């Protein structure tokens, strides 16, 4: 299936449906380790906005069918489900689509496998936080157990085989970013900053064709862009790259000697594409 939007004209791409969240339950020791290490991180800068992590908060915990004292006890230590951890979790891996295989470490009897947060499409990193195209749907899974698999294969985090059914995009424009932030401050091999800079470079580039920065930002969060860690050894800069498939655009966005042409008017609330045949 293909998707397009009046909010980002001149773009159409195929969906890559996947769950944003999938994983098994932690055991009590692992849960305690999560809470301890994340609280230690919070304590290094407790007043930071946004916070370095989110500690358990019983008042807002959703504990399913648990009631009374059991509910209160579990809510006091229940980890937030937003970040990915050893068990899997909210990893937002766009390539976990139809026909993929995932090998999860199992920490409790019965595994406690859960899945949800379905996306129609998403760019690597889901850089706009809720930037994926969210959707309702159902998931059909077949589950098998490899006894002693964690010891046999030496893993403590999930591994997976990607979907054999993927959008066939072969032409990309690749934007680089390094560990220097928007203010020009140098950071040491910071891949997060490098990837942010690659994304900002792509967004700035798209404005030259008429898109607003907000339109470019939304596009990178929802289209099937690829994110790569290209270098983490040459101090002080990590190099991250953002791969933007040029085939999703209905006009040519490649650089040339004549410079960019503004095909889009991104200055209005519901932008309208210019007639590309003129």
Tens of pLDDT, residue by residue over 224-253, are 999 999 999 999 999 999 999 999 999 999
What share of the chain in percent tops pLDDT 70?
Answer: 96
Q: Is the pLDDT of residue 268 over 90?
A: no
Distances in whole angstroms, Cα of residue 32 to Cα of each of 55, 150, 163: 12, 20, 34
Tens of pLDDT, residue by residue over 55-107, are 999 999 998 899 999 999 999 999 998 899 999 999 999 999 999 999 999 99
Q: What does the DSSP assignment read for 127-185?
A: TTSS-SEE------------TTHHHHHT-SS-EEE--S-------EEEEEEESB-TT--
Three-state DSSP at 100 gives coil
pLDDT at 130: 78
Mean pLDDT, to the nearest integer, of 186-190?
Answer: 98
Mean pLDDT, to the nearest integer, of 150-156?
Answer: 92
Bridge pairing between strands 226-231 and 18-23: unpaired
Helices (H), the chain: 28-43, 68-77, 149-153, 191-207, 213-222
> In angstroms, what is the C-alpha Rg of the chain?
21
- Phi then psi dihedrals of residue 198, to 5 deg: -65, -40
Three-state DSSP at 249 gives strand
- Give residue 131's pLDDT band: very low, low, confident or very high (50, 70, 90): confident
Q: Is the pLDDT of residue 266 over 70?
A: yes
Residue 116: which of 104, 131, 134 has the closest Cα? 134
Mean pLDDT, to the nearest integer, of 168-181?
Answer: 96
Cα angle 106, 114, 88; round to 5: 55
Residue 39 tokens, joined: 């609280």
In the chain, domain spans: 1-16+169-278, 17-23+86-166, 27-78
pLDDT at 269: 46
pLDDT at 276: 34
Bridge pairing between strands 13-14 and 88-89: unpaired
Distances in whole angstroms, Cα of residue 177 to Cα of each of 14, 41, 53, 118, 188: 27, 26, 25, 29, 13
Bridge pairing between strands 133-134 and 114-121: antiparallel
Mean pLDDT, to the nearest integer, of 119-133?
Answer: 91
| CA gap 199, 181 in Å, rounded | 12
Is the backbone of residue 85 left (phi > 0), alpha (psi -120 to 50) or beta? beta
Q: Is the pLDDT of residue 270 over 90?
A: no
């Amino acid at each position: 299936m293909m998707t397009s939007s009046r909010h980002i004209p001149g773009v159409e791409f195929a969906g890559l449906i996947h769950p944003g969240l999938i994983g098994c339950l932690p055991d009590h020791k692992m849960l305690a380790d999560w809470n301890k290490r994340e609280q230690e991180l919070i304590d290094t800068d407790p007043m930071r906005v946004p916070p370095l992590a989110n500690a358990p908060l019983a008042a807002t915990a959703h504990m399913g069918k648990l009631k009374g004292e059991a509910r209160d006890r579990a809510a006091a230590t229940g980890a937030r489900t937003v970040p990915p951890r050893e068990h899997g979790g909210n990893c937002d891996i766009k390539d976990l689509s139809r026909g993929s295989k995932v090998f999860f470490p199992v920490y409790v009897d019965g595994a406690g496998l859960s899945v949800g947060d379905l996306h129609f499409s998403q760019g690597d990193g889901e850089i706009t936080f809720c930037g994926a195209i969210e959707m309702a749907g159902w998931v059909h899974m077949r589950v098998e157990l490899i006894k002693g698999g964690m010891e046999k294969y030496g893993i403590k985090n999930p591994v997976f085989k990607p979907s054999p059914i993927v959008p066939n995009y072969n032409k990309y424009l690749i934007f680089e970013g390094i560990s220097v932030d928007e203010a020009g401050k140098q950071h040491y091999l910071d891949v997060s900053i490098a990837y942010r800079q690659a994304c900002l470079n792509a967004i700035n580039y798209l404005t030259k064709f008429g898109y607003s920065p907000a339109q470019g930002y939304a596009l990178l969060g929802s289209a099937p862009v690829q994110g790569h860690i290209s270098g983490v050894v040459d101090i002080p800069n990590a190099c991250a790259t953002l791969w933007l498939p040029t085939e999703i655009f209905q006009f040519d966005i490649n650089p040339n000697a004549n410079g960019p042409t503004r095909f889009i008017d991104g200055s209005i609330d519901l932008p309208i594409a210019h007639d590309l045949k003129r």
